[in-house]
Structure 1
Amino acid sequence: MEATDEENALLLRVHPTPQVVASEYASDGSVDINKQPALKHRTGNWRACYPVLGVGFSEGMVFSAIATNLVTYLTTVLHESKVDAAKNISAWSGVCFLTPLLGAFVADSYLGRYWTIVVVLPVYIVAMLVLIASASLPVLFQSDVHPAVVYLGLYLAAIASGGVKPCISAFGADQFDSNDPAELVKKGSFFNWYFFLTTTSSLLSGTVIVWLQDNVGWAVSYVIPTVLMLICFPAFLAGSRVYRFREMGVSPLVSLLQVVVAAVRKWNAKLPDDSSLLYEQASSPCTTEASHKNKHTNQFRFFDKAAIVPPGNESTVQTSPWRLCTVTQVEELKMLLLTLPTWASFVIFYAVTSQMQSTMIEQGMLMDNHVGSFAIPPASMPIIGVLSFLIWVAAYETVLAPLARRFTGNEKGFSQWQRLAIGQALSILTMALAALVETRRLAIAEASGLRHREVPVPMSILWQGPVFFVHGAAEVFGAIGMTEFFYDQAPATMKSLCAAFGQLAVASGSYLNTAVLSVVALATTRGGATGWISDNLNEGHLDYFFWMMAALSLLNLALFVRYSMRHTDRQRKQDLDLS
């Protein structure tokens, strides 16, 4: 009995043929809001990206409005000491860049990117309302709960940020079919616009919002980005019917844990001499592509035990993944472990970055911030770093990389190791310049009789410009280089997880900075001494602290170069063995 036209249409919609999929449906497995195969002409593409970009822009505005001038708020409104403010900012920043790892896990394993964004954006709005209340209600200023209310708002924002940051750009990229050449080009354009808008949000917060905070009021400066988010959130929800969604698989983090647990359970098991006896599937469930498998290597051999097939259990179909893993899963863990030394080297790098939003601003607060009749807010100085970043990105692509290509023969101009090393070297230069500026500032304070007075010294704040400019260059070589490194070195199934590792490096750098500040404060205030970072920086020696950070960064660079040389030699030998 032949099917009717209506039945055929229904069958095509539920089980589309390959020809229909190629012409009408996204070929990457995307579905629409109703969990049906996503039609290209009704879902995704730029029509779906505009509200996504709006959320990204508003989140950047909100986050920057909080973070850019936070040191001023803590020292002038909450009356915290310089050391306490710097430590609290580092601790808060650490949470901000640690929570994306949790956000990525929740999105990949439970909620999906869309629903994670939908859940955390109201939390973001509540956090801003708490901060607005803390800055505008006089009853709170005279209460002991004022600091508690402020930190409640700050940490709610940190949690919400961790849900948005790892999801919003990836969700925008999901709107383009990577198997469609035309849409693949548009995906690259999306990332360019996303970067442009998030950078623009930082510029606006560092100029307009900071000016409002210093000259109008903190509440007003928080209301503006909050209203923007209140507009963008409903717009994001309104676009739900045109979004494309990716169905969730096994979380990469769960896959890693399965390897560790399975290997530990077989602690006393003996590895076979022939690695081909280790378990593998023709179509591994731990990969996003059925054809993707990783070859066995001899590094970290303990974890190979996770792929040992138990005697008498050759039929592995029903075996728990927490007891038996594939070689591909094991090799993915090994690849991740090999990136850890590079990741660790950037913890010091981001500890230096933490100074740009804490001690450097505190230094600027005791410098002459007037250029003619215009007063530059100290918290706006990091904008020089943002502009430097944009300049060096353009220079890298158009001048530096082509020039380096002539000498290195490398298609990218610099190898990944060279780019990362240059970034770390520029980080050392950043701290050295900051130390020289502070040495000069203290000398002027001494000559002007201001050593024991907490007032700005007659030295222009523009002397901080080279510090921020060099740090912007360091970010181009180091931070972008690290992102590229993790993307290239990461297993195919763990690109997103390794991208979150970059955020984890930022968090770890912030926490390291907090620990260093605590140790320095404890060690330099013994016996009633003023300390390097005193409440009155004119009496302290912030220059010593900057020199110490430069020395730590130099040691870090030396260890990084040594590791990179060993890694290059090991990779060369491995390539020879494979050939």
Structure 2
Amino acid sequence: MEQEMKNCTTKGEEETVRGEDDGNKWVYDSSLDHKGRVPLRTSTGVWKAALFIIVIEFSERLTYFGTATNLISYLTKVIHQDLKEAAKSVNNWAGVTTMMPLLGGFFADAYTGRFSMILISSGLYLMGMGLLTMSQFIPGLKPCSTDTCSHPRKVHEVVFFLAIYLLSLGTGGHKPCLESFGADQFDDDHTEERKQKMSYFNWWSFALCCGLLLGVTLIVYLEDYVSWGLASLILTATMAVAVMIFYFGKPFYRYRVPEGSPLTPMLQVLFAAIRKRNLPYPPNPALLYEKSHKDKGRLLYHTNNLRFLDKAAIVEGSTNLLTEKQPNPWRLATVTEVEEMKLVINIIPIWLTSLPFGVSLAQTTTFFVKQSSTMNRKIGNDFEIPPASIHALSAIAMMVSVAIYDKILVRMLRRATGNERGINILQRIGFGMIFSILAMATAAIVEMKRLRVVEKEIILGGKTGTLSMSAFWLGPQYIILGIGDSFTLVGLQEYFYDQVPDSMRSLGIAIYLSVIGVGSFLSSFLITLADHVTKKSGTSWFGKDTNKSRLDNFYWLLAVLNGLNLCVYVLLAKRYTYKDVNRSGIVADSYKGESKVLEA
């Protein structure tokens, strides 16, 4: 008998070793290669695939920031909108652009898949950039000379706004799918690849900042001092080349098959929980219904929060799971489906408390740029940088911070905390929020100084043109926000990819982007509200002339709102329950009310 047990043990160990070897050769995370087969680990995925995706992200961000950061200058100089109207136009466009990914992410997860959605969006993006380029070169579409008229041709205005909103549609598919498609190239169930994925989010943001840096320096310089048309032509050509490079990486990618609407299982859980609301909870969570790991993706462990939803997984007395192979999903949900519903509910408070950070970010492409346009931007005697190029300091700060965090801080923190991330995701986000408060307070102090210079040189001294005060006084607020971005923005990307159900990761990245989009809309709303209130007291904070505005008061308001929000966020983060994946593939079988273990 002892010999038989020994033989069984040895056999089990051999099967385990073979299973581990097989797992190192093939990728069993529900992904497929370009021919629809189980991917071979050595020839697909990880950095060899992610680099193709990072290239198109760099190009897309170069195009986006080359357009977005100087948009307020175009609207005021060429379209001839006043400051308040231009700021609202920029915020509304940025809001739409960062809300569209919710639609693109949903369709990618439910129907098209990420790869196909990226190609569709690339086509829309190229159409928008092509139209933008034509509006600068075709005589009938060109704006009139700013020296001879105060308004451009109406046709130019229509074509221009059509083009930039086509970019919004393209971004709607690019942003949620590119980042999540890149993260899909790393297997969560493989220890080494899981660690590489954590670095991936950092270096993804590094590439994003490289695109931002070139966009707000080289491209913006061409727009302001050479030709808007030449800048658009370069961006269009760069985007076309990047799309071709992305397509050539097709054999190296790992693909996820869309599983239909990710919202349907959540509705089923809610309906089943309401229907069984009067049933008593089982004495042991192991008695709740769960499928085998083979049936559908990764399993999640049961958690004790939002217990009302657990009732959806209670097996009713009349249900015979031995004979009923596929229970009615509107009557009985699995523990994993219930936990996925909990994940979605749990992210809502985190999303809400991230919005004030999005409002702070909205200032970098609106009021910060207009402040810069009134200040001395000369380097040396002759070279003058464009107003939007000060944004480069934010990109540089973020790039340096991300590199230091990934290569130094994470390794130190891993040894100190024993956490493979170094610190958990919500802690990282919270640290960045502290920097947003400091950035808004710094912006207010710098603006107060700028207004004192305005009073001395323009109001009392009668000077015309730019102030003697250097635009690099704006550097500290950009740098502080850049450091904050390396914590909060990268943390939010990882959070909304990792903490949503596996079936809605494109939508998860879209939800992250909506933080920035809704933040832009909220910025417009706060501008309107503050303008309405301060007009009643005599002088609006937002005049047509930046030198007659009180942007410092608006920045102090944002600093206070961010401070109050941080207090709420800390309370939520302390109580948050993270996604708990069952990597062993072992589940409880409750078919007969027993608690026995099945191997998946």
The verdict on a shared fold, with TM-score over 0.5 as the criterion, is yes
Q: Which residue of 2 aligns with 1:352?
A: 360
Q: Which residue of 1 aligns with 2:306?
A: 300
- Listed one character per residue, the Cα deviations across residues 432-476 of structure 1 (whole Å, up to 9, x for unaligned) are 111111111111111123489884322110100111111112112
Segments of structure 2 that go 5 or more residues without pairing to the other structure are 1-17, 144-151, 581-600
Give the residue type in structure 2 aligned to 1:125: L
CA contact under 8 A between 1:83 and 1:521: conserved in structure 2?
no
CA contact under 8 A between 2:425 and 2:495: conserved in structure 1?
yes
Pairwise CA RMSD: 3.6
Q: Which residue of 2 aligns with 1:169?
A: 179
Q: Which residue of 1 aligns with 2:220?
A: 210
**Change in 2 beyond 3 A, CA 1:545/1:183:** closer
User: Number of paired residues?
Assistant: 547
Give the deviation of 1:333 after TM superposition. Answer: 1.7
Q: Which residue of 1 aligns with 2:343?
A: 335
Give the residue type in structure 2 aligned to 1:427: S
TM-score where L is the length of structure 2: 0.80
Give the deviation of 1:390 after TM superposition. Answer: 1.8
Q: Which residue of 1 aligns with 2:155?
A: 145
Bigger drift between 308-317 and 229-238 goes to: 308-317
- Listed one character per residue, the Cα deviations across residues 165-207 of structure 1 (whole Å, up to 9, x for unaligned) are 2222333454566667787787677666644433222111111
**Change in 2 beyond 3 A, CA 1:144/1:241:** same
Give the deviation of 1:108 after TM superposition. Answer: 1.6
**Change in 2 beyond 3 A, CA 1:134/1:405:** same
- Listed one character per residue, the Cα deviations across residues 375-421 of structure 1 (whole Å, up to 9, x for unaligned) are 12110111101111122223445665677789989776656554433
SS, match of residue 532 in structure 1: coil
- Listed one character per residue, the Cα deviations across residues 307-341 of structure 1 (whole Å, up to 9, x for unaligned) are 35566444554544244322321222223323332
Of 408, 427, 438, 2:436 maps to 427
- Listed one character per residue, the Cα deviations across residues 101-143 of structure 1 (whole Å, up to 9, x for unaligned) are 3222211211111111121111110011121223334433343
- 1:479 and 1:407 map into 2 onto residues whose CA distance is 24
Q: Which residue of 1 aligns with 2:165?
A: 155
- 1:244 and 1:116 map into 2 onto residues whose CA distance is 15
Q: How is 1:20-59 mapped onto 2 (pairs within 5 angstroms)?
A: 26-38=27-39, 48=49, 51-59=52-60
Q: Which residue of 2 aligns with 1:110?
A: 111
Q: Which residue of 1 aligns with 2:531?
A: 521
**Change in 2 beyond 3 A, CA 1:224/1:560:** same
Q: Which residue of 2 aligns with 1:237?
A: 247
Bigger drift between 480-489 and 226-235 goes to: 480-489
Of 370, 373, 398, 1:362 maps to 370
- 1:460 and 1:346 map into 2 onto residues whose CA distance is 32
Q: Which residue of 1 aligns with 2:297?
A: 288
Of 551, 554, 559, 2:560 maps to 551
**Change in 2 beyond 3 A, CA 1:397/1:52:** closer
SS, match of residue 559 in structure 1: helix
Give the deviation of 1:91 after TM superposition. Answer: 1.9
- 1:236 and 1:567 map into 2 onto residues whose CA distance is 38
- 1:434 and 1:427 map into 2 onto residues whose CA distance is 10
SS, match of residue 468 in structure 2: strand
Give the deviation of 1:541 after TM superposition. Answer: 0.8
Give the deviation of 1:45 after TM superposition. Answer: 6.3
- 1:532 and 1:296 map into 2 onto residues whose CA distance is 49
- 1:222 and 1:305 map into 2 onto residues whose CA distance is 56
Q: How is 1:92-107 mapped onto 2 (pairs within 5 angstroms)?
A: 92-107=93-108
- 1:221 and 1:201 map into 2 onto residues whose CA distance is 14
Q: Which residue of 2 aligns with 1:9?
A: none
- 2:206 and 2:42 map into 1 onto residues whose CA distance is 27
- 2:190 and 2:491 map into 1 onto residues whose CA distance is 28
- 2:295 and 2:161 map into 1 onto residues whose CA distance is 40
Segments of structure 1 that go 5 or more residues without pairing to the other structure are 1-16, 572-579
Give the deviation of 1:488 after TM superposition. Answer: 6.0
CA contact under 8 A between 2:106 and 2:504: conserved in structure 1?
no
**Change in 2 beyond 3 A, CA 1:433/1:176:** closer
Give the residue type in structure 2 aligned to 1:331: E
Give the deviation of 1:40 after TM superposition. Answer: 6.0
- Listed one character per residue, the Cα deviations across residues 508-541 of structure 1 (whole Å, up to 9, x for unaligned) are 21221121112122222348x4410111011111
Bigger drift between 50-59 and 35-44 goes to: 35-44
Bigger drift between 164-173 and 205-214 goes to: 164-173
Q: Structure 1 residue 467 and structure 2 residue 477: aligned? A: yes
Bigger drift between 460-469 and 170-179 goes to: 170-179
Q: How is 1:456-495 mapped onto 2 (pairs within 5 angstroms)?
A: 456-486=466-496, 489-490=499-500
- 1:33 and 1:400 map into 2 onto residues whose CA distance is 37
Give the residue type in structure 2 aligned to 1:271: L
- 1:19 and 1:410 map into 2 onto residues whose CA distance is 24
TM-score where L is the length of structure 1: 0.83
CA contact under 8 A between 2:440 and 2:558: conserved in structure 1?
yes
CA contact under 8 A between 1:132 and 1:219: conserved in structure 2?
yes
Q: How is 1:55-454 mapped onto 2 (pairs within 5 angstroms)?
A: 55-140=56-141, 141=143, 142-175=152-185, 194-264=204-274, 266=275, 269-274=277-282, 279-283=288-292, 288-289=297-298, 292-297=299-304, 299-309=305-315, 312-315=318-321, 317-372=325-380, 373-397=382-406, 414=423, 416=425, 418-450=427-459
Give the residue type in structure 2 aligned to 1:354: A
- 2:240 and 2:350 map into 1 onto residues whose CA distance is 40
**Change in 2 beyond 3 A, CA 1:287/1:252:** farther
- 2:191 and 2:284 map into 1 onto residues whose CA distance is 38
Give the residue type in structure 2 aligned to 1:321: P
Greater relative contact order (CA < 8 Å, ≥ 6 in sequence): 2
CA contact under 8 A between 1:260 and 1:306: conserved in structure 2?
yes
